[in-house]
Every structure is written in C-alpha cells, then in structure tokens.
Amino acid sequence: MNAAAALLAASRRIDRFDAEVLLAHLVGTDRMTLLTGPSRDIDEAGYEALVARREKGEPVAYITGWREFWSLELAVTPDVLIPRPDSETLIEAAQRVRGDHAPATILDLGTGSGALLLAALSIWPRARGLGVDRSFAALVVAAGNAARLGLSDRAVFSESDWGQAVDGRFDLILSNPPYVETGAELATDVRDHEPAAALFAGADGLDAYRMLIPQLPNLLNPGGAAIIEIGATQAEAVADLARAEGFRILLRRDLAGHDRCLVLTR
C-alpha cells in the first residue's frame, strides 16, 4: 500500500493529524517531509498496528515515544505525563520575570519527563538544575532526555517527595503538580493511559499545592521566583495558599486565555 492510500484509510478511523504523525513515525521521517515528499510504499501491517493502538485510545505520544516541548524532542513513556503546549506558559513566564538576570540554579519539582527543567536549561546555558520526582521510573525518563539533549552536565535528577529531600536554595523553581479533582471527567486517552499520580490531587485538586507551597520559602533564594502551573479554575484557591506563606502573586494565562500559572515572589 502507498502512503496516500494508507492515510486515507486511516483517516476514516482516527484523526487525520494523528494518522499523519503515526505514518511519519513508521517511515522514520517528520510529518511535513512525509506530506511534501514523494509518495512511497509502506509496511501496511505495521501501520495498521499503530492505527489500531490509537483507535483504542492510546495517546500518539506513547505510541511514537516522543513529544515536542519548547522545540525540544522529548522521550515519553506511560511513566510520565505527556508535556502539553500550555505548560510552555511557565517557561515564558520565567523569561519575563527573570528578564536580564539569568538564574544560576533551577529546581523542577515533580519533573516527570524533565520538560520544564530542560527547556529552562536550553534558554540559560550557564544555569544548572535539579529535577526531583517521587517516581524513579519518571527520573529514568528525565535523565535519558537530558543525556540525548546534551544537558547531563547541567541537569541532576533525584528522588524526592516534592522538596522534602532537597538541600539548598534556587533562583528559579518550576512545577507542574497534579491538580485534577478525583473523579473529574477526563478524555479517555488521558484517564486510561497517563499516570494517575501525575493527574489527580484529591477531592478539590489542591492536595499537591497544600504540600508543595509551604516548602517553597525554604527552597527559594532571595529575589527568586517560583512558577507553578494551576488548573483553569484554581487561581484564587492556590493564590490564598501562597499568600499565607508570604508570597506576592502574579497570574499568567495561556494562549487560549485560560489561567495557567502563578508566579510567586517575596
């Protein structure tokens, strides 16, 4: 079967974009090269197997093993949350709040794939960073990403429940904690495939913030900033927790206009 016929057949069963990404993965190229290059014969059985996995709800990123974040190609597995473009708002907020003052030290709490830390290190080439997670399997993924991106000399990964096992203070703290309410309705590909520990945070979705935010004053350098992702309806509740710890708060929204992160300074 040639690529054009395969795409047409697959698009009747799954999203056209997903079909294109999976076919590009199968033939070892990127989506744009696949679409603009000459037609080619493909392994029909191999492609059918990929399409069938997607048809059953498995996320494309887990099928291909990769997801782009901040122009970085990151390996992802079911042990880590799939990085979302909306989370790039945290990196943009970090650039704004730091301005011309590059951070020397960066901490990523709940690092998962390492997306936030590695994106920050790609911006500030003299910075060093620590990514922590309570999942050893996630730390393996993050360390592998650092190695592939040539950042292993500046990125260290360590097992910790938030900042409990972290020594020292940092100029910039980043975190995308779980913030989904237990029992909330989620898309089946998220609910059935992404790690529950990276998604759910109690009946009101605030349990992780209640643990995380009180630790921040002892982890942040004077003049530093902590940037924390939030759910779209959680700004006031999380801000109240931060104010109780003496933080000033700035809200940042994503490109869709949704509340996305809080910048905490003292």
Q: Answer yes or no: is pLDDT of 8 > 70.
A: no
Render pLDDT for 202-214 as a digit per residue (tens, 0 to 9).
999 999 999 999 9
Which domains are assigned to the chain?
3-56 (no CATH), 78-265 (3.40.50.150)
Residue percentage of the chain with pLDDT more than 70: 97
What pTM was computed for the model?
0.93
The predicted structure's pLDDT at residue 28? 83
* Furthest CA-CA distance within the chain: 63
For the beta carbon of residue 20, count every other beta carbon within 10 angstroms: 18
Q: Is the pLDDT of residue 5 over 80?
A: no
Give the 3-state DSSP-derived string for the chain, with helices as H, strands as E and coil as C.
Answer: CEHHHHHHHHHCCCCHHHHHHHHHHHHCCCHHHHHHCCCCECCHHHHHHHHHHHHCCCCHHHHHCEEEECCEEEECCCCCCCCCHHHHHHHHHHHHHHCCCCCCEEEEECCCCCHHHHHHHHHCCCCEEEEEECCHHHHHHHHHHHHHCCCCCCEEEEECCCCCCCCCCEEEEEECCCCECCCCCCCHHHHCCCCHHHCECCCCCCHHHHHHHHHHHHCEEEEEEEEEECCCCCHHHHHHHHHCCCCEEEEEECCCCCEEEEEEEC
Residues in the chain: 266
pLDDT value, residue 149: 98
**CA–CA gap between residue 131 and residue 143 (Å, rounded):** 9
Q: Which residue has the tokens 């047409």?
A: 8
Per the prediction, the chain carries an average pLDDT of 93
The alpha carbon dihedral of 150, 154, 172, 75 has a sign of positive
Of 35-44, 223-232, 234-243, 252-261, the one with minimum mean pLDDT is 35-44
Percent of the chain with pLDDT over 90: 81
Judge whether residue 148 has pLDDT over 70: yes
pLDDT above 80 (res 263)? yes
34, 42 contact by CB (below 8 A): no
pLDDT at 181 over 70: yes
Q: Angle at the Cα of 254 (from 261 to 25), degrees rounded to 5?
A: 110
